[in-house]
Structure 1
Amino acid sequence: MAISELKEMWFFCEKCLKNNMCKQKEFNQCSSVTIKEKNEALSLAVGSANIEAVHFLVEVAQADVNSITGKYNETSLIIAAYYGAAKHREIANYLLSHGADIDAIAKSPIDTALITAIWKNNINFAKLLLEKGANPSLSDVGLKEGYACKYAIQKKQAEIVPYIPNCCYLIEQNSHWVTDVGYFCP
């Protein structure tokens, strides 16, 4: 759906519901569009990197930036981490500035936005999350020391290793990890 269609539908439904002028079919459709579906629409807009739609859904439709959607129960930030392109990083900054939980947890095996970015080898996205304060020890079962580091090593994502706090120290303590990941920390 194009942003112009989304805006047109949103404003029609808002007026229809507010003034109690909806026919039954319109009422049913508008109730789901304006109340329930806006969070799903936000997830879809993030996935397709539609920045204008993301802004509209957050600012006008007041979609919840921390809403859980999809079969993996993920947030919009986790979806952005999955794709990880430059537009997705821009969206992530926007979501974070509007209260997105950087450490929100989805259903395993995705865990957090940071783990998702590492899994998909979206290094710049992972660095952004770490710079913004993502907890590298957070997993879907709580805190695990060195979790993001171990995950990066397991996935052979050597490029992110130096950016994960204490990861190089952990590698030095476990020399077999150096050959596993193929990266020597500075």
Structure 2
Amino acid sequence: MGKIVISETASLDGVIQDPTGEEGFRFGGWFDPAKADREAWAKVLIAEALGTEALLLGRRSYEYFVARGWVSRSGEWADRLRSLPKYVVSSAIENLEWQNSTVLKGDVVDEVSKLKRKVNGDIVVYASGRLVPTLMEHDLVDELRLIVYPAVAGAGERLFGETGDRKIMHLIGARTVGDSLVSLTYQPVREA
């Protein structure tokens, strides 16, 4: 059975929007203060990708990766992501440029539940700000991995918006990455 793993980069105040400032968001670019730690950050994400069996992406995240050249980019991380099966939740997208990509068009909860039964291992969700809250709301998330940057963005899209109920998490791992980043790993506490 598959395990849905949310892998996200966030500011200290939980903002995930426009970390590099490329999107022109007024509060974007909060990723920049930790440039010296990017190599250590990349090593964490490469190791994660090597232990992943599939990617689950929302349409916007898929398009973000494609627009930034991940379809043809080279290197250990890019090669691994290209080789992985990628499942894209979308009712609008038709043509998928990134090899090994499949569209999940039905009900998100049903499709992701089927995917969890089909894949054996980690199914990693990257940077999917609209998909993640849906997965959390329906208790489909098995693990949350956050890399927290030492910046307060001040405003912007956050990883979690409102949910129908609180979601209690249990810390299962914490470590520094480079000199100023923190990697936190949580599992949801399922009520009996």
Richer in strand (by share): 2
Higher RCO structure, 1 or 2 (CA under 8 Å, sep 6+): 2
TM band (smaller chain):
under 0.3
TM-score by length of 1: 0.28
* Structure with the greater alpha carbon radius of gyration: 1
**With structure 2 as the length reference, what TM-score do the two structures score?**
0.27
